[in-house]
Structure 1
Amino acid sequence: MGALFYHFFYAMYNLPEGKLIHTVASPDKKYSVNAYIVEGGATVPDSIRAEVVTNSSGEKNNIYWDSKMDTVSINWADNKTVIINGHELDVTKDVYDWRR
C-alpha cells in the first residue's frame, strides 16, 4: 500500500510532462536542462518541472518540481551544478521536490 501511494503521489518519474519553455546546456555541453510549465487549470496552480538530459545518450531524469510557479530561471554554476529558481542542484545526484 505504501509503495503504491508513493508511486502515485511522490515519485519524480511519474510527473506530468507539461509544455517546454526553456532549455539551457551546461558549459561543457555534456548536460542540458529542459524546463516545462505544467498548467494546473482553473483550480490548481501552475507548476514547473525540469529534467536533466545527458546529451551523449539522451537519458532524461526529472530533477526539479515546484508548485505555484509559472516562470523559471536556470543558470549553471559549473559543469555539474545548476541553479533553478534559486535551488542549487548537482545534476548527477540531487533533486528538488516541493512536496518533500
Structure 2
Amino acid sequence: MDWQLFSLTFMTVFLAELGDKSQLAAIALGGSSKSPRAVFLGSITALILASFLGVIAGGGVAQFLPTKLLKAFAAFGFALLALKILWSSFSEQADT
C-alpha cells in the first residue's frame, strides 16, 4: 500500500469534511436520538459509500480523459464554487 497517498487522502478528506453539512447533520441527529451509535454507523456507512462512488467514477473517467484535463476541470469547478460563495456573501452584505 502507498502510505504517502493514503495519508494525503486521509488528511484531504478529513479536513474537507470538518464543519460541513454532513457533520452538522450527524451532530443534530446524534444529539436528538437515543442511539448515537446508530447515527455514527449510519454516517460512516454513508461516507464510505459516497467515497467509493467517487473513486469508481474518478477511475472510470480517468481512463478516457488525460490527468491534466481532469485536474483542470477540478480546478475550474472549485474556482466556480469559490466565486459563487463570494458572490452570495457580497449579495447578503448588500441586502443588510
Give the TM-score taking structure 1 as reference length. Answer: 0.27
Greater C-alpha Rg: 2
Of Structure 1 and Structure 2, which has the larger fraction of its residues in helix?
Answer: 2
Of Structure 1 and Structure 2, which has the larger fraction of its residues in strand?
Answer: 1
Give the TM-score taking structure 2 as reference length. Answer: 0.27
Relative contact order higher in (CA < 8 Å, ≥ 6 apart):
1
